[in-house]
Amino acid sequence: MTGVPDVLRQLQARYRLDQASDDPVLRRVATLQLERLELGRRRASTKREHQTVGEDTRRWLMRPYRQQLQALLEAGGNPAVRWRGEDCYQTGHRPFHDSKSGTCLVVWLDTGTYWCSSCNAVGGAIEWVSTWKGISRRRAHLVLAQKFGSGAP
């Protein structure tokens, strides 16, 4: 673990100790937190071929309609501008606002999530449609279900 700050090492050590606890909730939280720390470390890494994530963490990170997110963004006028690996790219945040560089929105296709560095908006396909059309999340889910099907990945 070269290059890992001391704070992260301390957290990892604490969670490893918590994994040996008698409390099942504490063990589960420790396991999930260690997986999240590992995922963050791997996401920061440029070597993507060695990445493996636990199945529980993968399900927790994935959003409904994640494969349709790119089509929704392109329909809103946001084509991929700059790719940051094979499953992450930057684009604009139109029609909500413009940016000088046109790359304020970071999109992770593997999890179906986005984050705007200008307005700090986060979410997935459901949140995008909800904000874009000005409707509730539930109604947005129904709109996506009608357009793409049940919401399976």
Q: What is the CATH number of the domain that holds 130?
A: 3.90.580.10
For residue 81, the enclosing domain spans 66-148
d(CA 17, CA 70): 41
Question: Could you say which residues of the chain have pLDDT below 50?
Answer: 1, 46-51, 53, 57-60, 152-153
pLDDT number for residue 17: 92
Considering the domain architecture, whether residues 98 and 55 belong to the same structural domain is answered as: no
Residue 53 corresponds to which amino acid?
A: V
Considering the domain architecture, whether residues 123 and 85 belong to the same structural domain is answered as: yes
pLDDT number for residue 56: 52
In 1-153, DSSP assigns E strands to 82-83, 88-91, 105-108, 113-116, 122-123
pLDDT number for residue 120: 87
Q: Report the chain's C-alpha Rg in angstroms.
A: 18
pLDDT number for residue 70: 86
Quick check: is 94 in a domain? yes
pLDDT number for residue 43: 62
